[in-house]
Amino acid sequence: MSTRVPTLVFDGDCGMCTTLAGVVERYVRASESDFVVAPWQRLDLTTLGLTPQQCEEALQWVLPNGMQYAAQDAVAKVLLRGHVWWRPFGAVLLLPGINQVAAVVYRWVAANRHRLPGGTPACSLPAAQRKAS
């Protein structure tokens, strides 16, 4: 694994995920040099130590040292790395109890993202059936 900055890896086939990644780029990230935000379909996953299955299942946060965080933990780590006013939200997401509830909410949203605002029908298809980007 060799990146110089943390990398937020999202599903570029999902309209909701792409929209939320744009929100992170515009409002959470303090500057472009803080971390990379990219769809997994355009990355060398081997270099990041990830598999397509991991990226299809959840948001991924990969640090330069190879540490990986997924799902609600990835969200928390992004918030902790963002503008100073987002950091308390990231810290709260990692608290015991709250983190477990966030995990349940994250899994529900991930399973139903094609039904939520910004979601697309492609979000509900298995990766093998999705139209290539």
pLDDT, block means (10 residues), the chain with 133 residues: 81 90 96 95 96 95 96 98 97 98 95 71 52 43
Round to whole Å and give the CA distance between 125 and 4.
Answer: 33
Q: Is residue 39 part of a domain?
A: yes
* pLDDT given for residue 99 in this prediction: 98
Is 19 domain-assigned? yes
Question: What is the per-residue pLDDT for 94?
Answer: 98
Tell me, yes or no, whether 133 lies in a domain.
no
Whole-number pLDDT of residue 130: 43
Segments forming the whole domain that contains residue 48 = 7-123
Residue in the block written with tokens 């100073």: 84
Q: Locate tokens 């409002």: which residue?
A: 27
- Whole-model pTM: value is 0.85
Asked if 75 and 49 count as a contact pair (C-beta separation under 8 A), the reply is no
Q: Is residue 2 part of a domain?
A: no
- Residue that has been written with the tokens 């980007």 in this structure: 133
- R_g of the chain computed on alpha carbons: 14
